[in-house]
Amino acid sequence: MLMLPRRYVLIIAEKPKAASKIAQALSRTKPVKYKMYGVPYWIVYRNGVPYVIASAAGHLFALTTSEHGFPVFKYYWVPAWAVDREARYTRPYYLVLKNLCKYAIAFVNACDYDIEGSVIGYLIIKEFGNLGRAYRAKFSTLTSQDLRQAFKNLSKGLDMPMVEAGLCRHELDWIWGINVSRALMYAVKLATGKRVILSAGRVQSPTLVEVVNTEKQRNLFIPTPMFNISVSVAIGGKTYALEYLGESFTRKIDAENALKEIKKEKWAIVEKVKYEVEKIKPPPPFNLGDLQAEASKIYGFSPLKTQELAEQLYLDALISYPRTNSQKLPPTINYESIMSKLKEISEYSNLVRDLLRETKGILKPHEGVKTDPAHPAIYPTGLKPRKLSVDQQKIYDLIVKRFLATFSTDTILHSITVYLRIARFKFRLKLRRLHLKGWLKYYPFLNIDYVEDLPLIGKGQKLPIVKARITTTYSRYGKFYDKSSLLKWMESVNIGTESTRARIIENLFSRGYLKTVKGKIEVTPLGYAVSEILEKYFKDLTSVELTRKFEKMLNDIREGRVKRENVVLESKNILSKILLEFKNGAAEKAGIELGKSLKYIPVEIKCIICGSEAIDMKLCRNHLRALENILEKYKVWVQAYGSLSWKEYLKKISSLNISGKWVREVAKGMLEGIVKVNLQ
């Protein structure tokens, strides 16, 4: 039997914890909790009006189709649990809301105020309720004060531009994902008769292609040797290493001649001394991307882990809404109240006192340039945490300390730059001393090299040379990805959203396309195979430009400049043309290529290194390119060292970790006699 008032307002939260917070905020006494299908809901009375607060469990609806094959452009919304085994847990929430909507006189979407929350609430009210009697609650924290304020200022009607943008994103992701995935699977079945699960996605595919192309270049990379002069001098009983200001020597003999000249000298002559004051401005408050980057750098957390931990803190009302792009703290936030509460938390009481003393109570945040139309930057609410896990505490601590730092003053360094000459060669020594900690006192996670005291040095002074030698360095392939830097790349090219990027990256791992080795992302054979087919036969669909174009269109829908139907139609037209061309032409060829990569189709000649299909010299395409690079680069190494045998060269490049993986494998193969090359 349902325990319900006769007429009530139904408030729909996104998750049970949020529903509980809303019930507590709106009730003058302890809210009454009930259960239906094992799912909690609450009844409270406010100004004589009964409110029922219930919860979704994220998305309760998903898109599906009854059509087979591809292209497929007919789809509709159904209960998520009916089409996705992993969404079965949502069924009781679906049934509860279906029942509760029957007797409600009005509906409040109190899901997270973002695109996803807007869609979740909209679909529930559209399916079970009445959109004409719907309202929207907008809040950035789950504190009682903010929630009460939000419910005092409900918007009549739902935020339809945001809903339309969200619906469009779901439709685009669905029609791209299902059609290209089905095309890949169709190709494999056509060529091999086997059914295999492969997936592609509107944002997932260009992200995979970017990682694959980067790794290919890295795996083919051969470093170039360079030679430098390393000199140390004595100042006041301490030894300091000088920085050589000339270009690196490309030939070892030139470096040796330079070293001979330097070793004839006993002194480094000071030609110029420059004293400077350096100021490092406070960092802006966190948005989600910055928080994910810092948590990765400091604690090694993946972007998704950081996002999930931050969401847990938000649901406990400890921080503001985390899925934001904003680096701004609006004046409407009561900084003084937050500081007052943080002062009561023992770990931060001294820091807050110091900050208030430093600022004389005038709190003005140092903001960044990024904004978000829905939410401010991430900030602590000041509520005292209880029973946080170790990892939750780490993220909470980062957010609090960053918040404090943004109100502080510049970090000030005093620096001395000394320009020196030894024979005809120029050197530099730069030392810094920390003069004023400023914001570093509150957020001590920036590594700055500094000395306790700056030595007294004057122009014309002679500094004794302690040591001089040649150092060999190598050019490096600068680009590699871990999960954090891949997310930053997605941000930089504007594909995906704050909410979706981390999950898309994890999907590439769960699909078996990527793996992590020693903290770096590596592509699996399946990842290479799928990426190469996508780039070859669906090049437009994997381009960042097209993905970014549709991201802009989604934003235009949100801003009311474009209609959802027009964006979806354009997407269908682009997809239809490409998919039909593939189906009627290249599918079998692509299926054969995929079948060989997946080992379903035996290859005539195998690569003697990896077992893939050999193109020439019993090497696959990748190892053949590595061999070509090795042959080409040998001349550069001989020129650098003056004389260098082929065997010595192979030993050097195969032992250097900065050499590409395929290069090392081919070099070792030649040393072992597996790969045979005629150098004539």
Catalytic residues, by residue number, are 321
From the list 280, 513, 232, 236, the residue with the least C-alpha distance to 408 is: 280
Contact 136, 46 (CB under 8 A): no
> Tokens 């070099």 correspond to what residue?
667
Q: How many residues are recorded in the chain?
A: 680
Q: Locate 178 and state its tokens.
A: 């299902």
Nearest Cα to Cα of residue 565 among 182, 573, 66: 573
Which among 301, 267, 292 has a CA at the least distance from the CA of 460?
Answer: 267
The H or E element that residue 33 is part of is strand 32-36
Tell me how far apart the alpha carbons of residues 287 and 399 are, in angstroms, rounded to a whole number. Answer: 10
**How far is the C-alpha of 355 from the C-alpha of 363, rounded, in Å?**
9
Q: What are phi and psi of 211, to 5 degrees?
A: -65, -45
Main-chain phi, psi angles of 634, to 5 degrees: -55, -40
CB atoms within 10 A of CB 646: 16
With tokens 């907008």, the residue in question is 138
**Using CA atoms, how far apart are residues 675 and 630, in angstroms rounded to an integer?**
12
The rounded distance, in Å, linking the Cα atoms of 149 and 175 is 40
Report the C-alpha gap between 425 and 458 in whole angstroms: 19
Rg (CA), the chain: 31
Residue with tokens 């060269």: 649
Q: Measured between alpha carbons, how far is 219 from 211 in angstroms, rounded to an integer? A: 12
Q: How far are the Cα atoms of 4, 202, 411, 550 from residue 544, in angstroms, in the given order? A: 52, 10, 39, 10
Instruction: Report the alpha-carbon distance of residue 416 to residue 418 in Å, rounded.
Output: 6
DSSP H/E element including 466: strand 462-474
CA atoms within 13 A on the CB side of 208: 34
User: Which position has the token pair 């609450």?
Assistant: 42
